[in-house]
Structure 1
Amino acid sequence: MSWLRALKETARSGLKIERRRLEPLIALRGAAGLAVVIGASLALFGPVVAASSAFGAFQAAIATFQRSWRPRPVLALVSGVSLGLTTFVGYVAGPHLPLFVLLLVIWTFLAGLAWAAGPTGGIIAASNVAIMLVTITLPTSVAQAALHGAMIMFGGVVQASLIVLFPVRRWGAQRDALADALAAEADYARRLRHDPVAHFDPVPLMLARRAAAVTAREARRRPAELHGSRGVAERIRPVLASLADPAMGVPSEGPERDRVRELLAAAGSLLDAAARAIRKGDPVKLPAPAVAALKTPDTGALLTGPPLRAADRLAALLSDVIEAAEGDGTKAERAGAEETAGAIGGGRGGALPAEHHQRPSLLRLVPVILRSMRREMHHGSPILRHAVRLSVVAAIGYLLGRLLPLGHGYWAPMAAVMVMRPEFSQTYSRAVARFGGTLVGVFLASAVVEVAHPGTGLSAAFAVICALLMYLLMRTGYAVAQACVGGYVVFLLGMAGDDLSQTVFERVLLTLAGGLLAMISYAVYPAWETPRLRTRLGDWLKEDGRYAAAVVDQYADPAERGHDDVRQALLATREARIAWQEAVATARHEPVRHRGLSHGAADATQHALVQLGRVAMLLEAHIPRRGAVFVPGAAPLAEALRRATERGAKAVRERRVPDWTPVREALERWEAECLAREEAAGAPASTGTALVRNNVGLLLETLEDFSRGLTS
């Protein structure tokens, strides 16, 4: 993509306004907290302190809107306390320009590295630095700076207290994540009816897993319906795929296929019912036709072998989902759900699995974040490059704002810090959106000031209204949010006695300067994703191979092998797949030519690796239990698969085509050994041997498709 087209696409993306579900109660709660803080500060300390404390409450509320599984009160407290401390230290260093610039560079560098801990941490850290540039201009002495810092922290405390006192949808984000995972499973079941080899996007399951991570304290307060269902949903996916796939024994047409379609439709209906119940916290309302379809005895008459085992396993897992989704319902409701679940599962369901996915507390999270930052300290890291760009641009923007005879010089570095992201398209789209939104917001707010000449109280009221609109509309588009923020800052600083006679010209010009600095910095010191596509592809191939090898290895000796290695390999391949997909999506918007990997090759190799993971998933659905008959020779076959994919991943990174001859030779040797054993025993191969033979052959075909796709 050319630079001109890239700029056009990012500008269009930044100015785009979307229709999103609004959350008026949460917006009202945030605006109410802001009003309480401004009112108390005005009554006790006057308009200047009220302006700084309002920034603390404003930022604390914004922090709670970020996508995070941490409790919202904790996010508000962390934001308020960190902004208060930053303001105090910034004011103390402010009179000494070299010292303040040095501190600004350090702060912004650490804020950039905070992205290593996740987007929420990076956004909160960058916002604190940006707002600090405004708040340090308000105090007039060290004692006043301490008071301002304390009141900013007070704003965070007020917002956290309101969240505790007036909760809106407790555990709402976790409920939505789990419900989305079950709904994705339901959609997958329905798609399998028409496409037996349909692919499944694991993102909903990954989000549900992250949402299920809790601290020890949270685990004691978590609703019962959020226990267990995610683990069951993880095990339903391979069972659904195994039941539908013709390679597992069900013909493409006929009464057996019709029965499979009925089971898949019933599974989709029951999973949707469980998802609705969990999302809203209501009792499960089971569709009678779906329950009847699962309870009918026709399944045993039509299906045999692996398909019958998959159908039985599906019924047992669905019964577990129903029981878990009922959660804290009434005694009668739980009894009804348990009775229905028992009827569906035929008594084969066991106890729901305990979830031990723990999230570290905030104090224990500090060394984790430091380790994440340390891992990014290498030349090729996009996070490190973002931190370097952020610190340099903030320092240049601050010095430029001081040199220009405009006043309000902090608007340039503030705009740059707020729009910069580790990724190209987000940085450029946000720069355009911030300039457009600021232009509209500052112009309208300044016009209101010129016409109405509001006093302190009315300016405070206008600021709260702008904040309310921002909280309500912030998810509809960055430009809309920035228009509200621009008006909020104008009214708030007007309340503090700021001269608004040149507000529009100064603020808009400096915002433009800050946005241009951010855009130029990315062009001068970029972190393009396009050259790393082969590395991402190699990582995904390696993890997919590890997962397939771990599954095949389970057939070698079920009594000695646990399933932890399969689970860890599955999680790793999901992370690698998402990293690849995000890299491809980012690269499509970059003004960089593809280096060694065309669009056609990217699509073909992605399809092959998705197929590789699906075949391994089919094998996982039938892993023998402990004590079952093992498959002789499966372990060497798994080792050959693991080594070949590791070498193949290295070849991809080095721009070579992988060779799968070792896997083919290992499979041929193993098949010859199996044939010799069958002839000696005078009996056909076991079911497990036949499954491994068929599916490893499919794995080899997908690997060869991968190599062919790489050259397309």
Structure 2
Amino acid sequence: MSWLRALKETSRSGLSMERRRLEPAIAARGALGLALVMGVSLAFFGPSVAASSAFGAFQAAIATFQRSWRPRPTLALASGASLAVSTFLGYLTGSHEALFLALLLSWTFLSGLAWAAGPTAGIIASSNVAIMLVTITLPTSVATAAGHAAVIFAGGVVQAALVVLLPVRRWGAQRDALADALAAEADYARRLRHDPVAPFDPVPLMTARSAAAVTPRQARRRPAELHGARGLAERIRPVLASLADPAVGVPEEGPARDRVRELLAAAGALLDAAAHAIRHGEPVVLPPQAVAALRTPDTGALLSGPSRRAALRLAALLSDVVETAEPRTETSSRAAARGADPPARPVARTRPTLVRLAPLVAAQMRAELRPDSPVLRHAVRVSAVTAAGWLLGGVLPFGHGYWAPMASVMVMRPDFSQTYARSVARFGGTLVGVALATAVVQSAHPGVYLSAVLSVVCAFGMYLLMRTGYAVSQVFVAAYVVFLLGMDGAGLTQTVRDRVLLTLIGGLLAMLSYAVYPAWETPRLRGRLADWVAAVGAYAAAVTARYADPSGPAGPDVREALLATRAARVAWQEALARATHEPVRHRGLSHAAAEQAEEALAEFGRVAMLMEAHVPERDVPPVPAAAGLAESLHRATERGAKAIRERREPSWDDLRETVAAWTADPPDHFLLHKGATLLLDALDEVTTGLTPSSRPRAGDHRGE
């Protein structure tokens, strides 16, 4: 992609808006916390302290909107505390330019490395640096600076207290994640009715797994309906696939296929009902037609062998899902009516507390201190640009020079497309927001208290619409800052004029830094693809090894290999999405090659999942040939991954030799030989995709 087209695409992305579900109650709660903090500060301490406290409450509320599974009060407190520390340290060094510049460089560098711990930590750290650049201009003494830091932290405390006192959809994020996973399974079941080999995106299941990790305190308070359903959804997916796939199930047409379609439709309806119940905390309303379809005796007459076992297994798992999705009181009452004990609560996945998380984050940041790390390059870029913007803002005759570095640190991200899109969006939003705020000021001439009210209204608008697009949120942020600084008697017209110009300079510095010192994703695509090949090969090998030793120790190998495969697949997809808009050549991996290789590896993973769905029980005799297949799968995919990284054509000789040796004497198992052949075919498709000479060119009609 050329630079001109890349700029056009990122600009369009930055200025776009998305239709998202609005949450006015949560936005109103954040605005209420801001109003309380500002009102008390204005009444007792004056406009200067009110401006500092407002920044603390404003940023703490934003932290509660981040996509994190930690309790919202914890996020608000962490944001308020970290911002208070940043501001106080900034003031202590603010009077000494060289010392402050050293602090700014180190603090911004650490905020860049914080992206290693995830986007929530990166956003909070970046915001701390940006707000520090503003708040250090407010105090006049060390004691006053300490007071400003205290009220900033108080703003975080107030927001945390409001989350506790005025809860809105407790466990709402976790409910949505689990409901989305079940809804994705329901959609998968319906698509299988028409396409027996339909693909499945594992991201909803991965999100639900991440949401299921809780701290010890959360584990004691988590609703019962959030226990267990995710694990059942994980087990349902391969059963659905094996029931629908003609390779291991029923023929593509006929009465048996019609019965399978009925079962898949019933599964989709029941999973949707369970998802709705979990999302809203209501009892499950079972669709009568779906229940009747599962209970009909036709299954035993029409299906046999693996397909019949899959149908029976599906019915049992769906029953468990419905039982688990019931609210706790309902489930308990039903169990009591049956004379049975309530379902046992599964062991919760644990999440470390913030105190225990600190050394883990430090280790993640240290791991990024390597030359090829995109996070390290981002940290270097953002620290250099912030320092340059600070120095440039002080030299230019505009005043309020902190707007340039503040704009830079807020728009910069570790990848190209987000940095450029946010730079355009911030400038556009700032221009509109400042213009609107100026019109209000010139027409109404607000005083201190009316300016405070207007800033709270702008904050509410930002909280309400922040997830619809970065540009629209910046409209409200720009107006918010104008009204907030106007409370303290700052030169309003100068602030308006200078902020627009310096915001443009900050955005341009951010964009220029990525062009000069990039961290392109495109050259790393082969490495991401190789990681996926190695991971999915290890998963298939772990599954196959279970056929060789069904009675062996039931270790977590298959489960861990599956999770690693999903992580590698998502990493590949995210990298491919980032590389799509980068203004660089493909360097050995074209769009067509990437698409064909992705489809082939997705098919490889699907076949391995089908084999997992039919892993023999512990009392079933082993299949000795499976041990050799597992070993050849592992060797072939490891060597193939190495060849892909080294830009060589991958070959799968180990697996090919194993499959060829089975021609005369295949293993006595209905799926093992067929599965090995399908796995080899998928890997051959990967090779075809990565070999330019083997891909058909446009207009090629070979085979006609």
TM-score exceeds 0.5: yes
In structure 2, distance between residues paired with 1:338 and 1:508: 69
Residue number in structure 2 paired with 1:271: 271
Equivalent residue letter for 2:675:
N
Residue number in structure 2 paired with 1:445: 437
Q: Per the alignment, in what secondary structure is the counterpart of residue 371 of structure 2?
A: coil
Maintained 8 Å contact 2:57/2:152: yes
Equivalent residue letter for 1:547:
Y
Deviation, 1:353, is 7.2
Q: Per the alignment, in what secondary structure is the counterpart of residue 193 of structure 2?
A: helix
In structure 2, distance between residues paired with 1:624 and 1:387: 51
The CA deviation string for residues 166-198 of structure 1, in whole angstroms up to 9 with x for no partner, is 000000000000000000000000000000000
The CA deviation string for residues 259-303 of structure 1, in whole angstroms up to 9 with x for no partner, is 111110100000000000000000000001100111111111111
Q: Per the alignment, in what secondary structure is the counterpart of residue 16 of structure 2?
A: coil
Structural mapping, 1:76-115, within 5 Å: 76-115=76-115
Among 672, 679, 687, the residue aligned to 1:707: 687
In structure 2, distance between residues paired with 1:317 and 1:586: 38
In structure 2, distance between residues paired with 1:336 and 1:596: 64
In structure 2, distance between residues paired with 1:338 and 1:142: 69
Tell me the C-alpha RMSD between the 2 structures.
1.7
The CA deviation string for residues 88-146 of structure 1, in whole angstroms up to 9 with x for no partner, is 11000001111111110111111111111000000000001000100000000000000
State TM-score, norm by structure 1. 0.95
In structure 2, distance between residues paired with 1:333 and 1:295: 24
Q: Per the alignment, in what secondary structure is the counterpart of residue 284 of structure 1?
A: coil
The CA deviation string for residues 347-390 of structure 1, in whole angstroms up to 9 with x for no partner, is xx996672442111111111111111111111111111000000
In structure 1, distance between residues paired with 2:396 and 2:684: 62
Q: Per the alignment, in what secondary structure is the counterpart of residue 169 of structure 1?
A: coil
Residue number in structure 1 paired with 2:677: 697
Which consecutive unaligned segments of at least 5 residues does structure 2 have?
696-704
Structural mapping, 1:281-292, within 5 Å: 281-292=281-292
In structure 2, distance between residues paired with 1:242 and 1:235: 12
Residue number in structure 2 paired with 1:220: 220
Single out whichever of 170-179 and 468-477 deviates more from structure 2.
468-477
Equivalent residue letter for 1:38:
M
Deviation, 1:451, is 2.4
Deviation, 1:551, is 0.4
Residue number in structure 1 paired with 2:540: 548
Maintained 8 Å contact 1:463/1:487: yes
Q: Per the alignment, in what secondary structure is the counterpart of residue 657 of structure 1?
A: coil
Equivalent residue letter for 1:576:
A
Matched, 1:424 2:416: yes
Residue number in structure 2 paired with 1:648: 640
Residue number in structure 1 paired with 2:700: none
Deviation, 1:332, is 8.4
In structure 1, distance between residues paired with 2:65 and 2:444: 32
In structure 2, distance between residues paired with 1:440 and 1:609: 47
Among 374, 378, 400, the residue aligned to 2:366: 374
Maintained 8 Å contact 1:80/1:155: yes
Structural mapping, 1:16-415, within 5 Å: 16-330=16-330, 334=334, 354-415=346-407
State TM-score, norm by structure 2. 0.96
Among 457, 462, 466, the residue aligned to 1:474: 466
Deviation, 1:674, is 4.6
Maintained 8 Å contact 2:196/2:245: yes
In structure 1, distance between residues paired with 2:53 and 2:75: 17
Which consecutive unaligned segments of at least 5 residues does structure 1 have?
343-348, 676-684
Deviation, 1:705, is 1.3
Maintained 8 Å contact 1:22/1:473: yes
Inter-CA distance 215–528: structure 2 relative to 1 (3 Å threshold): same
In structure 2, distance between residues paired with 1:109 and 1:137: 22
Maintained 8 Å contact 1:215/1:359: yes
Single out whichever of 515-524 and 372-381 deviates more from structure 2.
372-381
In structure 2, distance between residues paired with 1:375 and 1:28: 40
Q: Percent identity?
A: 70
Deviation, 1:409, is 0.6
In structure 2, distance between residues paired with 1:424 and 1:547: 33
Maintained 8 Å contact 2:219/2:348: no
Equivalent residue letter for 2:582:
E
Which stretches of structure 1, 4 residues or longer, exceed 4 Å deviation after superposition?
A: 335-339, 349-353, 670-675
Deviation, 1:662, is 1.3
Maintained 8 Å contact 2:394/2:401: yes
Residue number in structure 1 paired with 2:571: 579
In structure 2, distance between residues paired with 1:191 and 1:80: 47
Inter-CA distance 334–280: structure 2 relative to 1 (3 Å threshold): farther
Equivalent residue letter for 1:519:
M
Single out whichever of 665-674 and 595-604 deviates more from structure 2.
665-674
Q: Per the alignment, in what secondary structure is the counterpart of residue 19 of structure 1?
A: coil
Inter-CA distance 219–331: structure 2 relative to 1 (3 Å threshold): closer
Residue number in structure 1 paired with 2:608: 616
Maintained 8 Å contact 2:242/2:249: no
The CA deviation string for residues 661-692 of structure 1, in whole angstroms up to 9 with x for no partner, is 211112333555557xxxxxxxxx3xxx2211
Single out whichever of 44-53 and 655-664 deviates more from structure 2.
655-664
Equivalent residue letter for 1:429:
A
Inter-CA distance 216–240: structure 2 relative to 1 (3 Å threshold): same
The CA deviation string for residues 440-477 of structure 1, in whole angstroms up to 9 with x for no partner, is 11122122222222111111111111101111111111
Matched, 1:514 2:494: no
In structure 2, distance between residues paired with 1:408 and 1:304: 77
